[in-house]
Amino acid sequence: MEITVRYFTVLRRITEKRQESLKMKEDSTLEDMLVIITEKYGKNFERYASSGISKKGLRLVFLLNGKDATQFEGLKTRLHEGDTVALMPPIAGG
């Protein structure tokens, strides 16, 4: 199956892309997608994705078809043909 991954902020600089299509196995999860992207983009992506944008331990936000993946099963959420996943840092205001 094929999905679209959209990158925001620092991830655009790391991947040098705004978005890309990924071929995934049937029954893949967001976690499987994250493994593929991490292998593809290496240590800089891994460092950012695992520790977030600060030393406060902030994590990435995963939006699946415009909805926060925490509304589903988090990283265990199954992907489907044509899904769009947006990766971004948490939104903070002040």
Question: CA-CA distance, 39 to 37, in Å (whole number)?
Answer: 5
Looking at residue 79, its pLDDT comes to 98
Cross-strand bridge partners of residue 12: none
Q: Give residue-wise pLDDT tens across range 46-68.
A: 888 876 444 444 468 899 999 99
Question: CA-CA distance, 30 to 11, in Å (whole number)?
Answer: 16
Looking at residue 22, its pLDDT comes to 98
Structural domains of the chain sorted by starting position, each given as residue range(s) with its CATH number in brackets: 2-88 (3.10.20.30)
Looking at residue 74, its pLDDT comes to 87
CA distances, 8 to each of 5, 26, 37, 92 (Å): 10, 26, 14, 15
CB 14 within 8 A of CB 44: yes
pTM of this structure: 0.86
Express as a percent the part of the chain with pLDDT over 90: 65
Which residues of the chain, if any, have pLDDT below 50? Answer: 52-58
